[in-house]
Chain A
Amino acid sequence: AQTVTQSQPEMSVQEAETVTLSCTYDTSESNYYLFWYKQPPSRQMILVIRQEAYKQQNATENRFSVNFQKAAKSFSLKISDSQLGDTAMYFCAFMKPQFGNEKLTFGTGTRLTIIP
């Protein structure tokens, strides 16, 4: 079974600064996908960024980028030029691609607060 660990329960950063959220995972699979989801207060979870394990290049989506270290089983999220709207719970998730059920395995989350 796969496990996902987020060791930072809470973080805070000044607006416009850069912050990095950590995630490690454990799996024996060689082909898998990793995700960062954002859950704003009282709002639904949305996908921030995804990474295919077979791709060496780190994924980037505007101000969001990841540092994927496959050998170390590490998948951190960097948020540049942080904005007040980035305040949310951030969940790291693992998925094994297969025909049919592609359920997500989530970490416990990091509560990020952007300070004005």
Chain B
Amino acid sequence: DTGVSQDPRHKITKRGQNVTFRCDPISEHNRLYWYRQTLGQGPEFLTYFQNEAQLEKSRLLSDRFSAERPKGSFSTLEIQRTEQGDSAMYLCASSTGTGGTDTQYFGPGTRLTVL
């Protein structure tokens, strides 16, 4: 069990560029979550995967955002035409999904800065 990993840890981009983040959950964790954390705020839910199926998206997730989880393993979050308001920490979390209420394990996050 190596924990949840995210790549890159930091990303600086210019407004209008596309960026993609990757999350590798704990192996055999069926549930995967993306959250966004802005300065001075707690994390806010963005989207949820059960295996490869994206089952819920927050209204925070505009049409410039897309997330995938092919084969139910790693996940990617892409932001197209980035805006300065997209600057935030993007957190990934995973849980077992085996029943009951699972603990979510968080990755270290990807800090995005849009210039």
Contacts and interface: CB of A to CB of B under 8 A. Distances in A.
Interface of B: 3-4, 31, 33, 35, 40-45, 48, 50, 55-56, 91, 95, 101-109
Given A44-B109, A45-B91, A104 B104 contact: yes
Interface in A1-58: 4, 33, 37, 43-47, 50, 52
Contacts of A91: 42-43
A33 B55 contact: no
A59 interface: no
Residue from the set B43, B105, B106 with the largest chain A CB neighbour count within 10 Å: B43
A61 interface: no
Interface string A76-116: 00000000000000010101010011111111110000000
B33 A103 contact: yes
B45 A109 contact: no
A102 B108 contact: no
Contact of B103 (A47, A100, A108, A109): A47
Contacts, number: 57
A108 B107 contact: no
Interface residues of A, number: 24
Given A47-B105, A95-B101, 17 more contacts: A33-B101, A37-B106, A44-B108, A46-B106, A47-B104, A50-B103, A52-B101, A91-B43, A100-B55, A100-B56, A101-B48, A102-B104, A104-B35, A107-B42, A108-B41, A108-B42, A109-B42
B108 A101 contact: no
